[in-house]
Structure 1
Amino acid sequence: MHRRSLIALAGLSVVSALQAQTVAAARRLLDATPPAQRGDLLQPFTDAARSDWHYTPRRRDGIAWKAMSTAQRDATTALLRTALNEGGLDKVRALMALEIALRQMETFGLSRDPENYAVAIYGEPGGEAWGWRIEGHHLSLHFSLSGDRYVATLPQFFGANPATVPRGLSGGTPAAGFRLLGSEEDLARQWLASLTPAQRTRAVFSTRPFGDLVSGNASHAKALDAVGLPWADMDAGQQAQVLKLIGAFADHLQPELAQARLARVRAALDTVRIGWAGSPKAREPHHFRIQGASFLIEFDNSGGNHIHSVWRDFDGDFGRDVLAEHYRKASGSGHRHGPK
């Protein structure tokens, strides 16, 4: 097992005792699901199935919130709570509510559905390797487990449209001025404002953003061009700002899971670079990315009021690195489960 796998296990092994309720919550959801729906809820634990993800409106694996009974919704919320803190749950709820805002803002808005978010379970809860996800428009959160232990919480996608809720909307939308990803954007701008002119020249690598995330929804994330300002070329205060910014992208998780993810970042801080593209002014098109030897964070607001953000792990997405032995065993036994 290579070094990053060991880091992941060391960081997440402490979660076992605290997160043992995850298996119970997943089984509770299964028990609450009628036989006719179980084929939708239960999906194979294969790399092909798990890595087929997207952040646009489309058909999704699993059972949508709108198709769930009260018992299923309660069980789903209990499952979410094993990975998300209360602020994270509120963030997911607010993201769904933004669909109501889009109903009013768009000429085709009736197609927007705040209950079209699906939960799927991959594999057998409590087994050697299994996982679950919740996904819908602008949301894709993936969790991988071995037994009752979380081994991966990536990939992660959060989007926001509108990025800032305008005035004049009604019907239960978040309040005017609400910004789902406001902390992430504000912290990045504070870092940018702290740079000296020489540092800014290196940090801003393009005068225009890219129209969307450069990494897209790739099944296997790959490192992007090494652009922006290297970690070693920032002072201690700026480095602290970058760590705070990275932490904002994990603050929806239960503390133990957030700490385990950030441990992977801290293990190779000397490889981190952060760069900016587009306008430095608020509500104008911009993009920033943070990249290290093992991970990539992208934040894109190419339209000025429509954000896409993602966190990928080059080896650890879907728990691939930690669960590699499981994949090898499955492949050797004739099952087609392993990464491709």
Structure 2
Amino acid sequence: MKRTVILVLALVLADSVAAHKAPTHKHAQLVPIPAYRQPYGEAGAQASLQAAKAFLATFDEAARDQFMFTLNAAERAGWSNLPAGIVDRTGIAVAELSDVQRGLLFDFLASSLSEEGYRKVMDIMAAEAFLSNDRRARRLKWDPQNYWISFYGIPSTDTPWGWQYGGHHLVLNISVENNRVETMSPSFVGTEPAVFSLNGVDYVSMVDMHRAGYAVYSALDAEQRAVTDAERVPRDVQTGPGKDGAIPSVIGISASKLRNEPKALMLSAIRKWVAIQPSENAVPRMAQIESELDQTHFAWIGDSTLNTPAYMRIQGPTLIIELLSTGGNVGENASGKGHYHSIYRNPAMEYGG
């Protein structure tokens, strides 16, 4: 259930507008998104809070009520990675923001994510701009303006709150408590295409995650690879949207059976997802995962070739990571350029637990 959130802020920018009255811009003005910067200091809960207040101050109360929800609102779990032409979203879209508000939104994302995480957002939105030139883009609403931001709870230093940013191939769910980032579970990161050029800029998205998984597999001996075999490439990740609370059967090989090298490579692969969030949570989170590594399983099928079917699952007591290379494309203009889906979950700490 939505609720009106009244924020008492010292500064209200002169261009405050209701979201439905904000101008709409073409994607040429949007991609690439602004370069990563930290206007409020190192990314983390404190910087995120300041950036959120600056962004929210540009809206009147009625407009804020469109994209601010109670902490445990049902809308928080209603996310999807599908195109906007298939699944409607809640929140406020990039398309509805003024130029000033767009800048403040990206300041907020940069203040809330690591530089690596912000780059993921940049690459995924650029891929969406690439798809916007496909003949089916209008029907499926492939457009980098079709990404939404929403807040859950009131951003503050002493109460839990969270935010969600997403659209096609992207959903980030970040939860804050005690003025620290607590979790980014569940979060979905994907892309189509993965390797492409747009407006003179070259992009490579998620290929590093694919190769990191294959590096673990490559470091195993023949007997271990047989145990690791995931048997088939599923149609999609098994713990994606609508699968909150689902715990798949454990498959693959236990890290307790591995030598030091594949164990280290396994941690490196996991870090590709964990490092999306700022270090104030990424560092302790990696320490927790490392302490549970011998209870964590790795499964793989496929190779490292772009645009071929492959699947990885890393699953432990507080971790589920899935990576899928679909081996095909939906967008005709993306043919042969890669298509990835992935999910990161901490089953013990979803949406802040």
What do the CA deviations read for 1:198-257 (whole angstroms, capped 9, x no partner)? 011111121x30111111213523321111111011110110000011111123322222
1:281: Cα distance to partner? 4.6
**What is the match of residue 136 of structure 1?**
167
Counterpart among 72, 75, 80 of residue 46 in structure 1: 72
User: What secondary structure, in the 3-state scheme, does the structure 2 residue paired with 1:118 have?
Assistant: strand
CA distance in 1, matches of 2:317, 2:195: 33
Which residue of the partner structure matches residue 204 of structure 2? 179
Q: How big is each residue's C-alpha offset from its partner over 1:290-332, in whole Å with a ceiling of 9 and x where there is no partner?
A: 0001110000112342110010111101111xxxxxxxxxxxx
Q: Show CA shifts across 1:165-200 (max 9, x none).
A: 2xxx65x3752xx32101111111122112111011
Contact conserved, 1:98 with 1:174, CA < 8 A, in 2? Answer: no
How far, CA to CA, are the matches of 2:273 and 2:212 in structure 1?
11
Q: Aligned to 1:121, which of 151, 155, 160?
A: 151
The two structures, once aligned, show a CA RMSD in angstroms of: 2.3
CA shift in 2, pair 1:157/1:131, >3 Å:
same
Deviates more, 1:82-91 or 1:232-241: 82-91
Q: How many residues align?
A: 298
TM-score by length of 2: 0.78
Task: Map residues 1-340 of structure 1 onto 2, 5 A cutoff.
Answer: 19-57=45-83, 58-104=87-133, 106-110=134-138, 111-126=141-156, 128-165=159-196, 170=198, 172=199, 174-175=201-202, 178-206=203-231, 208-278=232-302, 281-304=305-328, 305-320=338-353
Task: Kindly provide the amino acid, as one letter, of the partner of residue 259 in structure 1.
Answer: V
Q: Percent identity?
A: 27
Q: Which amino acid aligns with 1:33?
A: F
Equivalent position SS for 1:98? helix
Structure 2 residue runs of 5 or longer lacking an equivalent are: 1-41, 329-337
Render the CA deviation track for 1:84-107: whole Å, top value 9, x for unaligned.
123322221121010122133x43
1:80 shift after superposition: 1.3
SS in 2 for 1:88: helix
Moved more, 78-87 or 285-294: 78-87
- Aligned mates of 2:315, 2:200 — CA distance in 1: 34
Note closer, same or farther for the CA distance 1:285–1:18 as it changes in structure 2 (3 Å cut).
Answer: closer
- SS of equivalent residue, structure 1 residue 40: coil
Does the C-alpha gap of structure 1 residues 234 and 319 become closer, same or farther in structure 2, counting only changes over 3 Å? Answer: same
Q: Deviations over 1:120-179 (max 9, x none)?
A: 1111111522111111111100111225222222211111101232xxx65x3752xx32
CA–CA distance in 2 between the matches of 1:138 and 1:54? Answer: 8
Describe the SS at the equivalent of 1:222.
coil
SS at match of 1:252: coil
Unaligned runs of 5+ in 1: 1-15, 321-340
In structure 2, the residue matched to 1:10 is none
SS at match of 2:66: helix
